[in-house]
Amino acid sequence: MRAARIHDWKGVPVVEDLPLPERRSQQTLVRIDAATISHLDLTVRTGEFPLGPSLPYVPGCEGAGTVVESDTLAAGTQVIFRAHAVGLECDGTWREYAVVPDEALLPVATPVDPAVAATFLTPTTTAAVALFTIGRLEAGQTVLVSGATGAVGSMAVQLARAAGANVLALVSRSSRLRDLPAGVQGISLADADATAKLAETRPADLLIDTIGGAGLSQRIGWVARGGKVACLGYTAGTEFTIDLPSWFFSTVSILPVNLMANEAEAHRFAAELLPRFADGGLTIAVQEFELEQVADALDRLSQGRVNGRAVLRFRPAAETATAVNA
Protein backbone atom coordinates (compact mmCIF):
# COMPACT_ATOMS: atom_id res chain seq x y z
CA MET A 1 0.00 0.00 0.00
CA ARG A 2 1.04 3.61 -0.49
CA ALA A 3 1.70 5.85 2.50
CA ALA A 4 3.35 9.18 3.29
CA ARG A 5 5.94 8.98 6.06
CA ILE A 6 8.09 11.46 7.97
CA HIS A 7 11.65 10.20 8.44
CA ASP A 8 13.17 13.28 10.13
CA TRP A 9 11.61 15.88 12.41
CA LYS A 10 10.56 18.93 10.38
CA GLY A 11 11.27 16.86 7.28
CA VAL A 12 9.26 16.52 4.08
CA PRO A 13 6.84 13.55 3.90
CA VAL A 14 7.94 10.80 1.53
CA VAL A 15 5.41 8.70 -0.40
CA GLU A 16 6.47 5.06 -0.36
CA ASP A 17 5.16 1.50 -0.45
CA LEU A 18 4.57 -0.26 2.86
CA PRO A 19 3.29 -3.75 3.68
CA LEU A 20 -0.43 -4.10 4.25
CA PRO A 21 -1.16 -4.04 8.00
CA GLU A 22 -2.35 -7.20 9.73
CA ARG A 23 -5.43 -7.10 11.93
CA ARG A 24 -5.65 -8.67 15.38
CA SER A 25 -8.50 -9.23 17.82
CA GLN A 26 -10.29 -6.01 18.91
CA GLN A 27 -8.86 -4.21 15.90
CA THR A 28 -10.46 -3.05 12.65
CA LEU A 29 -8.93 -2.96 9.18
CA VAL A 30 -10.00 0.22 7.38
CA ARG A 31 -9.56 1.35 3.80
CA ILE A 32 -8.89 5.05 4.13
CA ASP A 33 -10.90 7.15 1.70
CA ALA A 34 -9.83 10.64 2.84
CA ALA A 35 -7.35 12.00 5.37
CA THR A 36 -7.07 15.51 6.72
CA ILE A 37 -3.87 17.54 6.68
CA SER A 38 -4.17 19.72 9.77
CA HIS A 39 -2.26 22.25 11.83
CA LEU A 40 -1.89 19.56 14.49
CA ASP A 41 -0.01 17.46 11.92
CA LEU A 42 2.29 20.44 11.34
CA THR A 43 2.92 20.71 15.08
CA VAL A 44 3.59 16.98 15.56
CA ARG A 45 6.06 17.08 12.65
CA THR A 46 8.30 19.48 14.61
CA GLY A 47 9.05 16.77 17.18
CA GLU A 48 8.26 19.26 19.96
CA PHE A 49 4.67 18.21 20.68
CA PRO A 50 4.15 16.43 24.05
CA LEU A 51 2.71 13.42 22.23
CA GLY A 52 4.55 12.02 19.25
CA PRO A 53 5.30 8.76 17.46
CA SER A 54 8.73 7.29 16.86
CA LEU A 55 10.46 8.04 13.57
CA PRO A 56 9.67 7.17 10.86
CA TYR A 57 5.93 7.61 11.20
CA VAL A 58 2.79 8.14 9.13
CA PRO A 59 1.11 11.46 10.03
CA GLY A 60 -2.63 12.14 9.98
CA CYS A 61 -4.76 12.70 13.09
CA GLU A 62 -8.09 12.78 11.24
CA GLY A 63 -9.63 10.76 8.46
CA ALA A 64 -12.56 8.74 7.16
CA GLY A 65 -12.69 5.31 5.63
CA THR A 66 -14.57 2.09 4.99
CA VAL A 67 -14.44 -1.01 7.17
CA VAL A 68 -12.78 -3.96 5.42
CA GLU A 69 -12.66 -6.43 8.30
CA SER A 70 -13.72 -6.15 11.95
CA ASP A 71 -15.17 -8.14 14.85
CA THR A 72 -17.48 -5.29 15.84
CA LEU A 73 -18.35 -3.36 12.65
CA ALA A 74 -19.89 -4.64 9.44
CA ALA A 75 -17.74 -4.58 6.33
CA GLY A 76 -18.62 -1.57 4.20
CA THR A 77 -19.48 0.68 7.17
CA GLN A 78 -18.26 4.25 6.80
CA VAL A 79 -16.17 5.29 9.81
CA ILE A 80 -14.39 8.34 11.16
CA PHE A 81 -11.13 8.20 13.07
CA ARG A 82 -11.79 9.76 16.46
CA ALA A 83 -9.02 8.57 18.83
CA HIS A 84 -6.41 11.19 19.65
CA ALA A 85 -3.65 8.54 19.63
CA VAL A 86 -3.96 8.10 15.85
CA GLY A 87 -1.22 10.16 14.24
CA LEU A 88 0.23 10.97 17.65
CA GLU A 89 1.19 7.82 19.51
CA CYS A 90 0.85 5.54 16.49
CA ASP A 91 0.79 5.82 12.69
CA GLY A 92 -1.95 8.04 11.32
CA THR A 93 -4.22 8.30 8.31
CA TRP A 94 -1.91 9.33 5.46
CA ARG A 95 -1.97 5.79 4.07
CA GLU A 96 -4.30 3.63 2.04
CA TYR A 97 -5.09 1.12 4.80
CA ALA A 98 -4.88 1.20 8.58
CA VAL A 99 -5.42 -1.21 11.45
CA VAL A 100 -6.64 0.57 14.58
CA PRO A 101 -8.35 -0.37 17.86
CA ASP A 102 -12.12 -0.76 17.46
CA GLU A 103 -12.78 2.13 19.86
CA ALA A 104 -10.73 4.50 17.68
CA LEU A 105 -13.53 4.54 15.11
CA LEU A 106 -16.89 6.30 15.00
CA PRO A 107 -19.38 4.60 12.64
CA VAL A 108 -21.31 6.98 10.42
CA ALA A 109 -25.06 6.32 10.44
CA THR A 110 -25.76 8.73 7.57
CA PRO A 111 -23.02 8.35 4.91
CA VAL A 112 -21.51 11.56 3.58
CA ASP A 113 -18.79 12.45 1.09
CA PRO A 114 -15.47 11.09 2.45
CA ALA A 115 -13.83 14.53 2.34
CA VAL A 116 -16.59 15.91 4.56
CA ALA A 117 -16.48 12.91 6.88
CA ALA A 118 -12.70 13.31 7.26
CA THR A 119 -12.77 17.03 8.00
CA PHE A 120 -16.03 17.88 9.78
CA LEU A 121 -15.33 16.29 13.17
CA THR A 122 -12.76 18.59 14.78
CA PRO A 123 -14.01 22.01 13.60
CA THR A 124 -17.68 21.14 14.10
CA THR A 125 -17.37 19.63 17.55
CA THR A 126 -14.92 22.34 18.65
CA ALA A 127 -17.33 25.06 17.56
CA ALA A 128 -20.30 23.31 19.19
CA VAL A 129 -18.47 22.76 22.49
CA ALA A 130 -17.28 26.39 22.48
CA LEU A 131 -20.76 27.77 21.77
CA PHE A 132 -22.99 25.54 23.84
CA THR A 133 -20.93 23.69 26.47
CA ILE A 134 -18.46 26.47 27.34
CA GLY A 135 -20.31 29.57 26.16
CA ARG A 136 -23.87 28.48 27.10
CA LEU A 137 -25.17 30.40 24.09
CA GLU A 138 -28.92 31.09 24.02
CA ALA A 139 -31.23 32.25 21.24
CA GLY A 140 -31.33 36.03 20.94
CA GLN A 141 -27.84 36.58 22.29
CA THR A 142 -25.06 38.22 20.26
CA VAL A 143 -21.93 36.24 19.49
CA LEU A 144 -18.69 37.56 18.03
CA VAL A 145 -16.63 35.04 16.06
CA SER A 146 -13.02 35.86 15.23
CA GLY A 147 -11.41 34.07 12.30
CA ALA A 148 -14.93 33.64 10.96
CA THR A 149 -13.85 32.26 7.58
CA GLY A 150 -11.55 29.62 9.08
CA ALA A 151 -12.56 26.01 9.67
CA VAL A 152 -13.75 26.38 13.27
CA GLY A 153 -14.88 29.98 12.83
CA SER A 154 -17.11 29.21 9.85
CA MET A 155 -18.72 26.34 11.76
CA ALA A 156 -19.29 28.59 14.77
CA VAL A 157 -21.01 31.13 12.52
CA GLN A 158 -23.32 28.50 11.02
CA LEU A 159 -24.18 26.84 14.34
CA ALA A 160 -24.77 30.14 16.14
CA ARG A 161 -27.12 31.35 13.40
CA ALA A 162 -29.02 28.07 13.47
CA ALA A 163 -29.41 28.46 17.25
CA GLY A 164 -31.09 31.84 16.81
CA ALA A 165 -28.16 34.03 17.84
CA ASN A 166 -27.17 37.36 16.33
CA VAL A 167 -23.75 36.76 14.74
CA LEU A 168 -21.00 39.32 14.16
CA ALA A 169 -18.29 37.70 12.04
CA LEU A 170 -14.76 39.08 12.43
CA VAL A 171 -12.28 38.66 9.57
CA SER A 172 -8.67 39.79 9.24
CA ARG A 173 -9.20 41.94 6.15
CA SER A 174 -12.06 43.29 4.05
CA SER A 175 -11.34 40.95 1.11
CA ARG A 176 -12.53 38.04 3.25
CA LEU A 177 -15.96 39.55 3.89
CA ARG A 178 -17.16 38.04 0.61
CA ASP A 179 -16.44 34.55 1.97
CA LEU A 180 -19.06 34.89 4.71
CA PRO A 181 -22.52 33.31 4.35
CA ALA A 182 -25.26 35.54 3.00
CA GLY A 183 -27.01 37.51 5.71
CA VAL A 184 -24.10 37.45 8.19
CA GLN A 185 -22.81 40.80 9.37
CA GLY A 186 -19.08 40.88 8.77
CA ILE A 187 -16.52 43.22 10.31
CA SER A 188 -12.92 43.57 9.19
CA LEU A 189 -10.39 43.87 12.00
CA ALA A 190 -8.52 46.28 9.73
CA ASP A 191 -11.50 48.69 9.80
CA ALA A 192 -10.59 51.13 12.59
CA ASP A 193 -14.02 52.80 12.64
CA ALA A 194 -15.86 49.49 12.93
CA THR A 195 -13.62 48.18 15.71
CA ALA A 196 -13.89 51.49 17.57
CA LYS A 197 -17.66 51.08 17.50
CA LEU A 198 -17.34 47.57 18.93
CA ALA A 199 -15.23 48.96 21.78
CA GLU A 200 -17.82 51.66 22.42
CA THR A 201 -20.93 49.48 22.35
CA ARG A 202 -19.54 46.15 23.69
CA PRO A 203 -22.31 44.23 21.87
CA ALA A 204 -21.26 40.62 22.47
CA ASP A 205 -22.64 38.25 25.05
CA LEU A 206 -20.07 35.71 23.87
CA LEU A 207 -16.80 35.91 21.94
CA ILE A 208 -15.62 32.76 20.18
CA ASP A 209 -11.95 33.52 19.64
CA THR A 210 -10.19 31.23 17.18
CA ILE A 211 -7.03 33.28 16.58
CA GLY A 212 -5.56 34.41 19.92
CA GLY A 213 -2.52 36.67 19.82
CA ALA A 214 -1.99 40.15 21.21
CA GLY A 215 -5.26 41.39 19.67
CA LEU A 216 -7.26 39.22 22.05
CA SER A 217 -6.83 41.92 24.70
CA GLN A 218 -8.74 44.34 22.49
CA ARG A 219 -11.43 41.83 21.52
CA ILE A 220 -12.18 41.03 25.15
CA GLY A 221 -13.15 44.69 25.46
CA TRP A 222 -15.93 44.14 22.89
CA VAL A 223 -17.76 41.75 25.22
CA ALA A 224 -20.56 43.05 27.43
CA ARG A 225 -20.05 43.13 31.17
CA GLY A 226 -20.73 39.69 32.57
CA GLY A 227 -20.21 38.05 29.18
CA LYS A 228 -17.92 35.19 28.18
CA VAL A 229 -14.88 34.63 25.98
CA ALA A 230 -14.22 31.07 24.72
CA CYS A 231 -10.59 30.77 23.60
CA LEU A 232 -9.70 27.93 21.25
CA GLY A 233 -6.94 29.00 18.85
CA TYR A 234 -3.65 30.86 18.60
CA THR A 235 -2.84 31.27 14.89
CA ALA A 236 -2.19 34.98 15.55
CA GLY A 237 0.11 34.26 18.50
CA THR A 238 0.30 32.33 21.75
CA GLU A 239 0.35 35.26 24.20
CA PHE A 240 -1.67 38.32 25.14
CA THR A 241 -1.68 40.81 28.01
CA ILE A 242 -4.63 42.12 29.96
CA ASP A 243 -5.22 45.14 32.19
CA LEU A 244 -6.35 43.48 35.40
CA PRO A 245 -8.33 46.37 36.97
CA SER A 246 -10.39 46.80 33.77
CA TRP A 247 -10.94 43.07 33.49
CA PHE A 248 -12.02 42.76 37.12
CA PHE A 249 -14.56 45.54 36.57
CA SER A 250 -15.90 43.95 33.36
CA THR A 251 -16.60 40.56 35.03
CA VAL A 252 -15.98 38.94 31.62
CA SER A 253 -15.15 35.24 31.94
CA ILE A 254 -12.19 34.02 29.85
CA LEU A 255 -12.59 30.30 29.31
CA PRO A 256 -10.38 27.70 27.57
CA VAL A 257 -11.89 25.26 25.06
CA ASN A 258 -10.27 21.86 25.54
CA LEU A 259 -11.86 19.22 23.31
CA MET A 260 -10.14 16.36 25.10
CA ALA A 261 -11.69 17.48 28.40
CA ASN A 262 -15.11 17.55 26.72
CA GLU A 263 -14.80 14.35 24.68
CA ALA A 264 -18.22 12.95 25.60
CA GLU A 265 -19.93 16.20 24.61
CA ALA A 266 -17.94 16.32 21.37
CA HIS A 267 -19.07 12.81 20.41
CA ARG A 268 -22.67 13.73 21.15
CA PHE A 269 -22.45 16.80 18.95
CA ALA A 270 -20.81 14.77 16.18
CA ALA A 271 -23.67 12.28 16.09
CA GLU A 272 -26.28 15.07 16.16
CA LEU A 273 -24.69 17.30 13.53
CA LEU A 274 -23.29 14.94 10.89
CA PRO A 275 -26.72 14.35 9.26
CA ARG A 276 -26.96 18.10 8.66
CA PHE A 277 -23.94 17.86 6.37
CA ALA A 278 -25.65 15.06 4.45
CA ASP A 279 -28.74 17.19 3.81
CA GLY A 280 -26.84 20.43 3.15
CA GLY A 281 -27.88 22.19 6.34
CA LEU A 282 -24.21 22.62 7.25
CA THR A 283 -21.27 22.97 4.90
CA ILE A 284 -17.50 22.81 5.18
CA ALA A 285 -15.00 23.98 2.57
CA VAL A 286 -12.29 21.50 1.54
CA GLN A 287 -9.39 21.51 -0.89
CA GLU A 288 -8.44 18.05 -2.12
CA PHE A 289 -4.96 16.74 -2.90
CA GLU A 290 -3.64 13.43 -4.20
CA LEU A 291 -1.22 11.53 -1.97
CA GLU A 292 1.68 12.41 -4.27
CA GLN A 293 0.89 16.09 -3.60
CA VAL A 294 1.18 15.76 0.18
CA ALA A 295 4.43 17.75 0.49
CA ASP A 296 2.96 20.63 -1.51
CA ALA A 297 -0.27 20.49 0.52
CA LEU A 298 1.68 20.63 3.78
CA ASP A 299 3.66 23.60 2.52
CA ARG A 300 0.50 25.40 1.42
CA LEU A 301 -1.13 24.81 4.79
CA SER A 302 1.87 26.19 6.67
CA GLN A 303 1.70 29.34 4.53
CA GLY A 304 -2.07 29.78 4.89
CA ARG A 305 -2.69 29.08 1.18
CA VAL A 306 -5.32 26.35 1.51
CA ASN A 307 -8.94 27.12 0.67
CA GLY A 308 -10.83 25.44 3.48
CA ARG A 309 -9.47 22.26 5.03
CA ALA A 310 -6.76 20.29 3.24
CA VAL A 311 -7.73 16.71 2.41
CA LEU A 312 -5.86 13.77 0.90
CA ARG A 313 -8.16 11.65 -1.31
CA PHE A 314 -7.27 7.99 -1.74
CA ARG A 315 -8.20 5.97 -4.79
CA PRO A 316 -6.57 2.56 -4.12
CA ALA A 317 -5.45 0.57 -7.13
CA ALA A 318 -7.72 -2.36 -7.95
CA GLU A 319 -4.96 -4.89 -7.39
CA THR A 320 -4.35 -3.54 -3.88
CA ALA A 321 -8.01 -3.85 -2.95
CA THR A 322 -8.03 -7.40 -4.35
CA ALA A 323 -5.02 -8.32 -2.25
CA VAL A 324 -6.68 -7.03 0.92
CA ASN A 325 -9.92 -8.92 0.26
CA ALA A 326 -8.15 -12.16 -0.70
259 in Cβ contact with 235 (< 8 Å): no
3-class SS of residue 53: coil
CATH number for the domain including 173?
3.40.50.720
Those residues with Cβ within 8 angstroms of residue 140's Cβ, 6 or more apart along the chain or in another chain = 164, 165, 166
Is residue 216 assigned to a domain? yes
Q: Are residues 90 and 10 in the same domain?
A: yes
Is residue 277 assigned to a domain? no
58 in Cβ contact with 94 (< 8 Å): yes
Q: Are residues 205 and 307 in the same domain?
A: no
Euclidean distance between CA atoms 96 and 43, whole angstroms:
23
Is residue 273 assigned to a domain? no
**Residue 108: which of 100, 96, 99, 117 has the closest Cα?**
117
Is residue 49 assigned to a domain? yes
Torsion of CA 110, 116, 119, 121, to 10 degrees: -20
88 in Cβ contact with 61 (< 8 Å): yes
117, β-bridge pairs: none
> What pLDDT, on the 0 to 100 scale, is given for residue 319?
38
Burial of 60 (0-12, 13-18, 19+ CB in 10 A): buried
The dihedrals phi and psi of 204, each to the nearest 5 degrees, come to: -90, 135
Q: Are residues 6 and 63 in the same domain?
A: yes
The residue type found at 315 is R
Using alpha carbons only, what angle is made at residue 309 by residues 136 and 145, rounded to the nearest 5 degrees? 30
Q: Are residues 299 and 231 in the same domain?
A: no
Question: Residue-wise pLDDT tens for the chain (326 aa)?
Answer: 999 999 999 999 999 999 999 999 999 999 999 999 988 899 899 888 877 788 999 999 999 999 999 999 999 999 998 766 788 888 999 999 999 999 889 898 888 899 999 999 889 999 999 999 999 999 999 999 999 998 899 999 999 999 999 999 999 888 889 889 888 999 999 999 999 999 999 999 999 999 999 999 999 999 999 999 999 988 888 899 999 999 999 999 999 999 878 888 988 998 889 889 888 889 998 999 999 999 999 999 988 788 789 999 997 554 344 434 44
Is residue 268 assigned to a domain? no
Q: Are residues 146 and 232 in the same domain?
A: yes
Q: Are residues 147 and 249 in the same domain?
A: yes
Euclidean distance between CA atoms 121 and 196, whole angstroms:
36
Is residue 293 assigned to a domain? yes
Euclidean distance between CA atoms 143 and 1, whole angstroms:
47
Which structural domain range is residue 241 located in? 124-261
Euclidean distance between CA atoms 209 and 237, whole angstroms:
12
CA 307 to chain centre: 14
Domain finish residue from 211, 230, 261 = 261
Q: Are residues 106 and 164 in the same domain?
A: no
CATH number for the domain including 98?
3.90.180.10
Q: How is residue 291 annotated by DSSP?
A: G
Euclidean distance between CA atoms 93 and 62, whole angstroms:
7
149 in Cβ contact with 173 (< 8 Å): no
Number of domains in the chain: 2
Q: Are residues 159 and 247 in the same domain?
A: yes
Q: Are residues 149 and 239 in the same domain?
A: yes
> What pLDDT, on the 0 to 100 scale, is given for residue 270?
87
